[in-house]
Amino acid sequence: MSDTDGAYMFNLGCFNAHRVFATERVKRYTGEYRPRHEVVPGDLIMANTDMTQARDILGRPAFVPDGFEPGFISHHVFKVVPKARTSEVAEAIRVYLLFAFQQPAFRERAIGFATGTTVLALPPAAVGECPVCRPGDDTLLLFASRVVPLLRRVRENERLANQLTELRDALLPRLISGKLRLPEAQEQLEGAAA
């Protein structure tokens, strides 16, 4: 493991925040990994293990975020690869499945399929053989055209929130100690928000 070098490894920690991908939990890894574990931004991944009995992250889906290449998944994460005639339809199916896998019916299925007494595991069949009503290609493409811009906005808001948090953490001690005056802090905040 490394903090700054190697491929990005997506693991269970990445699924710890509800509906938000925990990018701060992505690890760096300098060793070898199998090509079948490689992921790229936009790939749909899912937690297949839960170390707690709460089952909070078991079966939770997420997209691999932009800016994390090269990347791969740990053995505690599945990569969901839809079959489609075109790459546009495959992308639309991934977007559709992101929301389908958050529905109560799938959550119940994931919990029902969980095996293990201390570490819960989700077998591949629980996902691969899950019945999902698949809309036609035109409907999927229309759905994706409406949802993808919203998902981009969510990711941008997350990025901005993280940036503002870092700035706050840097400025607050300086404000409290008197080393930084309020007008200077406001200028830095406005610069970061622009």
Compute the 3-state secondary structure of the chain and give helix, strand, coil in percent, each to the nearest 5.
Answer: 45, 15, 35
Q: How far apart are CA 94 and CA 42, in angstroms?
A: 8
Q: CA nearest 48: which of 110, 118, 131, 117?
A: 110
| Model pLDDT, residue 39 | 95
Provide the residue-wise pLDDT of the chain in tens; the chain has 194 residues.
556 788 999 988 888 655 566 777 788 988 888 999 999 999 999 999 888 777 788 889 999 988 889 999 999 999 999 989 999 999 999 999 999 999 999 988 888 888 777 788 888 888 888 888 999 999 999 999 999 999 999 888 888 888 888 888 988 888 888 887 777 777 877 777 66
pTM for the model: 0.81
The DSSP H or E segment spanning 171 is: helix 137-177
For residue 158, give both structure tokens: 């997350």
DSSP string, 74-120: -TTEEEE----SSHHHHHHHHHHHHHHTTSHHHHHHHHHH-B-SSSE
Under the phi-then-psi rule, with left for phi > 0, alpha for psi from -120 to 50, and beta for the rest, what region is 59? left
For residue 48, give both structure tokens: 């297949």
Residue 57 · residue 50 · CB < 8 Å: yes
Residue 103 · residue 130 · CB < 8 Å: no
The DSSP H or E segment spanning 121 is: strand 120-121
